[in-house]
Amino acid sequence: MEHKTENFNKQNYDLSRVRTSFVEKVSTVLISQLLDDVLLDRIVNDGEKESVLEANSTRGDRARCLIDTVRRKGNNASRMMIAHIQQRDPMLYAELGLSCGQPAQPEPPVEQEWSASLIPTTDTFWREKLNDKHVYSVTKKSIKNRVALLITNIKFANEKFNRNGAEKDEENMDKLLTSLGYKVVKYTNLTAKQIDEAIIKFSKHPELKETDSVLVVIMSHGKLGAILGVNWENETSGDASPDEFPINNIYKHLGSQKCPELMNKPKIIIIQACRGEEGGAVLVCDQADSAVLCDDIKQSGPSPSADEENIEDDTLRCVHKEKDFISLLSCTPDTVSYRQRGFGSFLIQYLVEVMHTDAHKDDIEELFRKVMHRFEDFCIQNKRQMPTKDRCSLTKRFYFFPGI
């Protein structure tokens, strides 16, 4: 009898322990099913069931009210509720780490399997997020108007700077963006001036008004704060105007002032380029016998304000100069990033795998975190690389909803 009492106490504890995750993950459909179940079990009465549904307008509030009502009914009620979760949604049951009184058996660690193609979002998941005030609006119409900019520098005027293997990056990103519903505006082998002009032209794209988001992907050699054009030469050349595109220009051209069509819409920037520190180094070309290549351009060794009273509320509106951006850069400041001749850069390889596997259920910040997590154990020829999220000003969660 003592063992049974401990078991019952554990059930109530389990519901309390998973309360936050349950509220976050349970679907509207499952809430209704569980309410029917606990009504049939006489855990709640008709009035309590109606109260859960009618007194709470959001899915989260209903989930919170349901689990709290059952917990207050005692350990046996909690046990029965857990059993219904297991029967109705085994995946959620497993994610919450629940049990129905039987001791959990430890499972051997399972190696992550990555999908070779995008897993589609369910219509239920999309509709659940459709009216969530904490999620950027995505409609079927806006998905049809998505546009993305893809710039890849592969061949340089100085052939020793050619980015062997970057063709694969261009191919992989083009396929990924297209499968996510974006019409891809693509450029290859641009100077810094041409990169700037391409972004300005993109900022005037006619479909920006109807899109829900944009992606800008730029892949080239780089240095801290800049992307290199195809005519770049190292500083010893004496060129007074080096072929360098300031990364900050992306935010200027797509920000609220110069691109109002993208106001309050996610602007996702992905840059595959090194961010090597200036000074005391020369560009190291790709070694012919090396399978792992580097986009570093510097290596020294192997490794207007206005007075308030003058502003009329009905004619002027103050907006954030820079908002709704998120960037993923291929490495941290002053470090380099790597690519393989046959497969392309590690950043793009990992990004594609994570997007294919989890874009149907994760928002962009979580997807980027998972890409970064892939690099925790990155170790090839004693090399290290860690991507970084930068200048994130997203105020809500953004989901791609592939397949909707």
First CA to last CA across the chain, in angstroms? 53
Give SS3 for 245. strand
CA dist 124 and 141 (Å) reads 18
CA dist 400 and 351 (Å) reads 14
Going by C-alpha positions, the residue among 270, 272, 297, 302 that lies closest to residue 283 is 297
Specify whether the CB–CB gap between 355 and 363 falls below 8 A.
no
Give SS3 for 169. helix
Specify whether the CB–CB gap between 46 and 126 falls below 8 A.
no
Going by C-alpha positions, the residue among 202, 344, 340 that lies closest to residue 269 is 202
β-bridge partners, 388: 329
Residues noted as catalytic: 221, 274
CA dist 400 and 356 (Å) reads 11
Using CA atoms, how far residue 150 sits from 134, 195, 212, 286, 337, in Å, is 29, 10, 18, 24, 19
- Cβ within 8 Å of residue 4, ≥6 positions away: none
CA dist 226 and 248 (Å) reads 8
| Number of alpha carbons in the 13 Å side-chain half-sphere of residue 147 | 18
Specify whether the CB–CB gap between 347 and 355 falls below 8 A.
no
CA dist 270 and 277 (Å) reads 20
β-bridge partners, 293: 339
Specify the length of the chain in residues: 404
